[in-house]
Structure 1
Amino acid sequence: MVDDDIIPEGYGYKPSPSAYINHMGKVYHRRSQNERGEEIVSAAIRIEDHHVNSWGLAHGSLIAGMAEIGCAGTAYVEGGPPVVAVDMSIQFIGAPKLGELLEVHGWTTKRTRSLVFTQCRAESDGKIVFTATSVQKVIGA
């Protein structure tokens, strides 16, 4: 068992309104800006026993879930309508191990009235884990 009660530096935590995300574990969040002043929305999760496969590496389904969180997080505007993925492409590059912190950083590449095009990149222990792109549909638009 991994002690995930320590909030990673720079992140905050509050339970998600999504029961599924809460079931994954504690997903930490932060918002920042890159050197060009663009907003970066980050999420992080500590890899626990229930996240790993038979080889002790984070399961692909957890990685895919974090890619969706990374892409959707940047598409959602606080207090605005919900967004859902209508298309996503994930490039699996590596997998974090038990106890490591998986950090996902997402950004918006284009926003229209009804669609948001996003990207994210994830690292763990200084190594890239995945990249992803998505198209998010703004519900009600």
Structure 2
Amino acid sequence: MLTDLPWIPIEDDGFIGLIGPVLYKPFVDGVGRFRFTAEEKHRNRAGFVQGGMLMSFADRALGNTARERHPERAQTTVQFDIHFIRAARLGEVVEMECHILKETRSLVFMEGRITTEDELVATVKGIWKIIERRDPPGN
């Protein structure tokens, strides 16, 4: 059962490591599930979770989902749209469910919903460009 699957920390010594921890569940049916607990370091001047934190969280969650079937693949975000519905509060567990809408040879079209305690915080859509890896000249 999906609720029995463990939450696993994303290993990242870069930017996500600074704003995390961000956790995920093993992928089931191609759906990505991610979460973080809103801490003081995520606070904006109004005392809520900074919108940029939610955007960074969503970008990583959608990107990880886009790469789920092809972990070795290089890709980059080319379009990202977020619509904020309500503020996320400190102490809340912020979760996101991500779906691949369509994948072509060069693009992955994604959507997701950010929630806290089953309340909608934001909706997100994005497009990821699949990058063809090439050997450097002379190899």
TM-score range, shorter chain: 0.7 to 0.9
Q: List gaps (5 residues or longer) in structure 2.
A: 134-139
Q: Report whether the alignment pairs 1:44 with 2:39.
A: no
Q: List gaps (5 residues or longer) in structure 1.
A: 1-7
Q: Deviations over 1:53-93 (max 9, x none)?
A: 12221001001111212321211135321221101111111
Q: Report whether the alignment pairs 1:16 with 2:11.
A: yes
1:78-93 equivalences under 5 Å are 78-93=70-85
Structure number with bigger Rg: 2
Identity of aligned residues (%): 25
Aligned residue in 1 for 2:25? 30
In 2, distance between residues paired with 1:108 and 1:18? Answer: 26
- Contact 1:31/1:39 (<8 A) preserved: no
- Contact 1:43/1:69 (<8 A) preserved: no
In the alignment, which of 110, 116, 122 is matched to residue 130 of structure 1? 122
4+ aligned runs moved over 2 Å, structure 1: 8-18, 77-80
Aligned-pair RMSD on alpha carbons? 2.0
Q: Across the two proteins, how many residue pairs are aligned to each other? A: 130
